[in-house]
Amino acid sequence: MKPLSVVGRVSRSALLALAVLFLAVPSAHATKLKQQNLTQLIRDADSIIGGVVKDVHDGVDDKGVPYTQVTISVGTSAKGRIAAEKDYTFRQFGLLQPRTLPNGHKLLAMTPEAFPRWREGEYVVAFLFRPAARTGLQTTVGLAQGKLSMVNRTLVNDFGNSGLFEGVKIDDALLTGEEKAMLKSSGPVDLDTFLGLVNRAVDNQWVEKGGMK
Q: What is the pLDDT along the chain (213 residues), one digit of tens a residue?
A: 332 222 233 334 443 444 444 434 443 333 368 899 999 999 999 999 999 999 999 999 998 899 999 999 999 999 999 999 999 999 999 999 998 877 888 888 899 989 999 999 999 999 999 999 999 999 999 999 999 999 999 999 999 999 999 999 999 999 999 999 999 999 999 999 999 999 999 999 999 999 999
78 inside domain:
yes
Distance of CA 170 to CAs 8, 45, 101, 183, Å? Answer: 52, 19, 51, 9
Q: Is there a domain that residue 7 lies in?
A: no
Long-range (24+ apart) CB contacts under 8 A made by 19-25 are 20/65, 20/134, 20/135, 21/65, 21/93, 21/132, 21/135, 21/137, 23/134, 24/132, 24/133, 24/134, 24/135, 24/137, 25/93, 25/132
**Structural domain contains residue 106:** yes
Is residue 3 included in any domain, yes or no? no
Number of domains observed in the structure of the chain: 1
Domain with 151, as residue range(s), is: 12-209
Q: Is residue 141 part of a domain?
A: yes
Contacts of 16 (CB under 8 A, 6+ apart): 63, 64
Q: Is position 46 within any domain?
A: yes
Q: Could you tell me if residue 4 is inside a domain?
A: no
| Residue 1 belongs to a domain | no
